Amino acid sequence: MKEVLKRAQEGQYAVGSFNFSTAEVLKAIVMAAKELNSPTIVSTSEGEGEFIGMAEAAALVGAWRHGTKLPIILNLDHGKSLESVKKAIEAGYDAIHFDGSAMSYDENIANTAAIVSYVKGIKEKFDREIIVEGELGYLRGSSSVHEEALEIKPEDLTSPEQAKDFVERTGVDSLAIVIGNAHGIFLKSEEGLNLERLAQIREALGEKVFLVLHGGSGIPEDDIKKAIELGIVKINVNTELRVAYQVGLVKELKEKPTETTPYKILAPSFDAVKSVVKEKIKLFGSEGKL
């Protein structure tokens, strides 16, 4: 993971982190990455991991890695406790996103630092490098389609001074920041990024930490490109994949209400998810970056 993100930092592109909770969505992500020769991060939130099974997710990813020879990194997305981090590592995950952003600043630092030290402490036991992403700022929304307008307040954004202090005191490898991004797609508002704030955060942190953008769905393409130029190296996308899946499924069930074969029913969803992932890989610039 470190190597993949380091190369992205040097090459000024970003690697997509795509969420999945079923085998066919994972396959669609992998097939898209394979066709475009792209490194990829596949993620499960706590809920998604519970649905597919964390050990099962790791086994599937292992099989795909072996079958495709691609660098496919399995990431715990928005882990909220040490218990869930431990479960992911035991199951074979390569990367941990610990989200303490709902806690007070000091609690977030204390909990994130404890996760970093736990992960460092078990390094030898697992014989693989596991990287830790922290989160700072108030990221609104959830990975779904929102009718209500998005209202981001200035105090929601990550402060450059706090970001520097947070990284120094926790020892995280990566930091998820809030710069106008939010989880989900907002039908009534534009999800524009505050690029000036991003530049200030980059300036405060230098290159020693990887910058991560959550809430990758619904952000204008131009903002995404500029954010990558300014140092974002990992972009999380979930809602656009969920919408593609759902639209494909509803259409198929309407058109063929008597179809009962799962792989036939799921084919349009599979194709739709794959095509969104391909678009994102191209937009993020990780095509051909193996």
Could you tell me if 162 and 188 are in contact, meaning their C-beta atoms sit under 8 angstroms apart? no
Could you tell me if 244 and 263 are in contact, meaning their C-beta atoms sit under 8 angstroms apart? no
Indicate the SS3 state at residue 192.
coil
Tell which positions 232-251 bind Zn ion, by CB under 5 A. 236
Could you tell me if 237 and 280 are in contact, meaning their C-beta atoms sit under 8 angstroms apart? yes
Q: Does 16 bind ligand G3H (CB under 6 A)?
A: no
Q: Does 237 bind ligand G3H (CB under 6 A)?
A: yes
Q: What angle do CA 131, 140, 8 make, to 5 degrees?
A: 35
**Entry field: residues in the chain:** 290
Name the residue type at position 96: I
Q: Does 214 bind ligand G3H (CB under 6 A)?
A: yes
Could you tell me if 19 and 45 are in contact, meaning their C-beta atoms sit under 8 angstroms apart? yes
Q: Does 184 bind ligand G3H (CB under 6 A)?
A: yes
Q: Kindly report the backbone phi and psi dihedral angles of residue 194, in degrees, each rounded to the nearest multiple of 5, phi listed first.
A: -90, 90
- CA 142, CA 155: separation in Å to the nearest integer? 19
Q: Is 77 a catalytic residue?
A: yes
Closest separation in Å from C-beta 204 to Zn ion: 22
Interacting partner of 217 out of ligand G3H, Zn ion, none (Cβ under 5 to 8 A depending on kind): ligand G3H
Task: Choose between 32 and 237: whose C-beta lies nearer to ligand G3H.
Answer: 237
Could you tell me if 26 and 61 are in contact, meaning their C-beta atoms sit under 8 angstroms apart? yes
Contact range with Zn ion by CB under 5 A, out of 21-29, 122-130, 212-220, 244-252? 212-220
Closest separation in Å from C-beta 215 to Zn ion: 6
Per-residue x/- track, 36-75, ligand G3H (CB under 6 A): ----------------------------------------
Task: Choose between 94 and 133: whose C-beta lies nearer to Zn ion.
Answer: 133
- CA 109, CA 168: separation in Å to the nearest integer? 10
Per-residue x/- track, 154-183, ligand G3H (CB under 6 A): -----------------------------x
Residues near ligand G3H (CB under 6 A): 19, 77-78, 143, 183-184, 214-217, 236-240
* Residues classed as catalytic: 77
